[in-house]
Structure formats: C-alpha cells, structure tokens
C-alpha cells in the first residue's frame, strides 16, 4: 500500500519518479510562464471544407465500418446525417493480411523482423472545426462508444496483440488533416511504453496484492491537490510525475482492466469527463495542440487484475531540447499542483 504521508509543496526544482514506469521527470518551475503564454502563436489555419477529405457522406468513397447519427437527430437511419463514422485509413501504418495469417517474428541476420500486419482505422466526427473539447458530453460519448465498439470487434482477432486508440489535435501534435478525428491501430505486438506500464503495475501487485492505479486514485482523492475534475464514475487528475506540463489522466474510479468492457451506463460519464478535460485545456491554453490515447490491457493477457485502463492527455506546449534529449528526462515547467487551479478558472 502507498504510505499515508502528507505531501509538501516545493519552491525549488525537484526530481520525481513515476511510481508505475519507474521513469524520472524534472519539475523545474523556474521555467514557468503564464498559461496564455503557452498558447501557440503560429497555429496552422484549418483547411477549408471544400478541400477536406473528410467532408461528404462517404469518406474515401467507401461504406463506413461503423457510424452514428447525432444524439439529438430524428433521422436515425439516414446515413447522410452521420455525426461519427469509422473508416479504413487510406494510408495505413499496418494492413490486414490477405490470407488472415498472423505476423511471426523471424531473424534477418543479426536482427529480428516481423510483417506489419494489423488494422488502421479513422474515427471521424462531422463538424469541420469543432474539436472534442468543444463538444457536448453527449456528443463526446458517441466518440467513446465508437472506440469501444471497434475494440470489441478487433479484439476477437487472434493475430492482434494490442489495440491503441489515439487522437492528434493540431499540426504540432502530428495531425496531418485538421478536421477532428481519432485513429485506431491494432498491432501484432505490445508496444514498449505499454509493456513498461503493464510490467510496473504487475510488479506492484505482486508485492502489495493491490492495483497501483487504484492506490493512486485513493491517494489523489485524499490529497485533493491534483484533482482537475470528477463525476460519479471518473476522476481527472494531473499526475504526480507528468510527461509534460498540463498533462491530464482520466481514470475510472472503480477498478477495470479492459477499456472495451466499459458498461453502457458509464459511456456518458466518460464523455462528460473527456469533454470537460479537453475543454479546460482548450480555454486555458487557447486551443493548444495535444495528443491523447487510451492505455488498456493487451489482448489475450490472462493475468490482468493488476492493470487499470485510463486516458492520457498531453498538450504540446514546449519542444524538447538538449536537456531533455541528452538525459531522457521530461522537464516540467508548471508544477502539477498548480494545474487544477489554472484550469478550473476556465469552467
């Protein structure tokens, strides 16, 4: 169990360790600026709707894999009124094997190699310039529901080892198309960042017989210094050892290992938490570029009681330089304890 120790505030720079991954970060508040100074001054102008490849009923002239009308729509069966649709990525990072053969690692001389077999899909929302942080909780819940449905469908493929949903917002965050959309990639391997997180939680469980993320939730709710928002089902915090200033994480309060098993009654609550968290970043940081993704249990894992799925939201408000690249340390200019006050001023 985590020690019941009262936390202190710090005037000076401080090194903090992520309790799950073991990675260190440097909290260097001497570099801090006002929140509005983190706003991008060179925001790339969104492409016009006329030239946007995500406009029109059928993206890439193909039938969608999945679609939903707007939650307030009266035309539930009219595809022309879609609000969310899932389509195959026209430029995929991985592709399905024609013969349904699984990828197998093999030697290439000194090295190992594997075919890039998998699935790459786009989850697109209808409004051309309205991001998730500007949507209602009901609209955001539709996006969450589409994530869950695709996790459920692709998780049955025995060749899939891990499914990642991620969202790039803004050119600085890697969004090549400005129209809001998320992506799903189903991989034949478990990626290294997930492996570190999964291994760290497993080691903690082996030692203390409890979920590390549940302990984090208990500790943060007791301390109250890093809670940004919460509703009946979800907690939004800024982590003790973040990867970047204003990083946020969304946890289900009740222990759950697999995102894909989120119950229907919790989807609206997650839509609320996600839209609130992104909305606060949008207003405080003047529509920053950001990435978010879901970390969940790998497919076909048998021992999963130790893991707790969650969202990680990472605004792109600084560029790694020599200190970060030369040491591997993330340097954080805004102390996590300052973030809730800065963000809640915008509600």
**Is 27:13 a contact under the CB 8 Å cutoff?**
yes
What is the mean pLDDT of the segment spanning 100-117? 89
Q: What are phi and psi of 240, to 5 degrees?
A: -60, -40
Domain end (from 122, 155, 187):
187
Report the CATH number that the domain containing residue 120 is assigned in CATH: 3.30.428.10
Q: Tell me: do 140 and 254 sit in the same domain.
A: no
Q: What are phi and psi of 197, to 5 degrees?
A: -65, -45
Residue 333: domain span: 20-32+210-344
pLDDT of residue 155: 92
Residue partners of 218: CB distance under 8 A and separation at least 6: 2
pLDDT of residue 345: 67
The per-residue pLDDT for range 24-58, each reduced to its tens digit, is: 988 887 656 666 666 655 555 666 777 888 887 67
**293 domain residue, yes or no:** yes
Q: ∠97-100-106 over CA atoms, to 5°?
A: 70
Domain end (from 187, 220, 244):
187
**253 domain residue, yes or no:** yes
Q: Tell me: do 272 and 155 sit in the same domain.
A: no
Per-chain mean pLDDT for the chain? 89
Q: Tell me: do 132 and 253 sit in the same domain.
A: no
Q: Tell me: do 219 and 110 sit in the same domain.
A: no
pLDDT of residue 27: 87
Q: Tell me: do 215 and 339 sit in the same domain.
A: yes
pLDDT of residue 101: 83
**1 domain residue, yes or no:** no
The per-residue pLDDT for range 288-328, each reduced to its tens digit, is: 999 999 999 999 887 788 999 999 999 998 888 898 899 98
Q: Tell me: do 216 and 253 sit in the same domain.
A: yes
pLDDT of residue 4: 54
Q: Tell me: do 248 and 338 sit in the same domain.
A: yes
Q: Tell me: do 266 and 293 sit in the same domain.
A: yes
**302 domain residue, yes or no:** yes
Cα gap 341→343, rounded to integer Å: 6
Start-to-end CA distance of the chain, whole Å, equals 34
pLDDT above 70 (res 8): no
Cα gap 161→183, rounded to integer Å: 17
Count Cβ atoms within 10 A of the Cβ of residue 223 and give its class: 0-12 exposed, 13-18 middle, 19 or more buried. middle
Q: Tell me: do 233 and 127 sit in the same domain.
A: no
Q: ∠266-268-272 over CA atoms, to 5°?
A: 115
308 tagged catalytic: no
The per-residue pLDDT for range 109-164, each reduced to its tens digit, is: 999 998 999 999 999 999 998 999 999 999 999 999 999 999 999 998 999 999 99
Count of structural domains within the chain: 2
**130 domain residue, yes or no:** yes
Q: Tell me: do 133 and 226 sit in the same domain.
A: no
Q: Tell me: do 255 and 286 sit in the same domain.
A: yes
Q: Tell me: do 126 and 74 sit in the same domain.
A: yes
Give the predicted TM-score (pTM) of the model: 0.91
In the set 181, 282, 308, 310, the catalytic residue is 181
**53 domain residue, yes or no:** yes
């Amino acid at each position: 169990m985590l020690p019941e120790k009262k936390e202190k505030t710090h005037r000076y720079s401080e090194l903090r360790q992520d309790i799950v991954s073991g990675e260190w970060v440097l909290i260097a508040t001497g570099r801090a600026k006002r929140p509005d100074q983190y706003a991008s001054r060179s925001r790339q102008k969104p492409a016009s709707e006329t030239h946007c490849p995500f406009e029109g009923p059928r993206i890439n002239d193909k039938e969608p894999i999945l679609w939903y009308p707007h939650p307030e729509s009266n035309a539930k069966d009219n595809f022309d009124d879609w609000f969310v649709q899932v389509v195959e990525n026209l430029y995929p990072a991985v592709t399905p094997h024609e013969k349904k053969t699984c990828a197998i690692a093999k030697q290439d001389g000194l090295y190992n190699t594997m075919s890039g077999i998998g699935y790459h899909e786009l989850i697109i929302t209808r409004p051309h310039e309205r991001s998730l942080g500007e949507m209602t909780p009901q609209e955001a819940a539709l996006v969450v529901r589409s994530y869950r449905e695709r996790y459920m469908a692709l998780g049955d493929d025995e060749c899939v080892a891990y499914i990642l949903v991620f969202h790039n917002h803004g050119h600085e965050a890697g969004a090549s198309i400005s129209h809001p959309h998320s992506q799903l990639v189903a991989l034949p391997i478990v990626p290294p960042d997930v492996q570190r997180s999964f291994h760290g939680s497993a080691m903690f469980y082996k030692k203390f017989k409890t979920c590390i993320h549940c302990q984090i939730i208990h500790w943060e709710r007791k301390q109250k210094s890093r809670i940004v928002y919460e509703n009946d089902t979800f907690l939004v915090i800024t982590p003790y050892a973040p990867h970047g200033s204003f990083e946020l994480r969304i946890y289900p309060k009740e222990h759950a290992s697999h995102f894909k098993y989120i119950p229907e009654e919790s989807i609206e609550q997650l839509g609320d938490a996600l839209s609130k968290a992104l909305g606060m970043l949008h207003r405080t940081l003047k529509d920053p570029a950001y990435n978010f993704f879901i970390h969940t249990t790998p497919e076909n894992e048998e021992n999963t009681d130790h893991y707790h799925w969650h969202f990680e939201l990472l605004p792109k408000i600084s560029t790694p330089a020599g200190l970060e690249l030369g040491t591997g340390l993330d340097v954080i200019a805004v102390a996590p304890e300052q973030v809730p006050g800065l963000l809640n001023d915008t509600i």
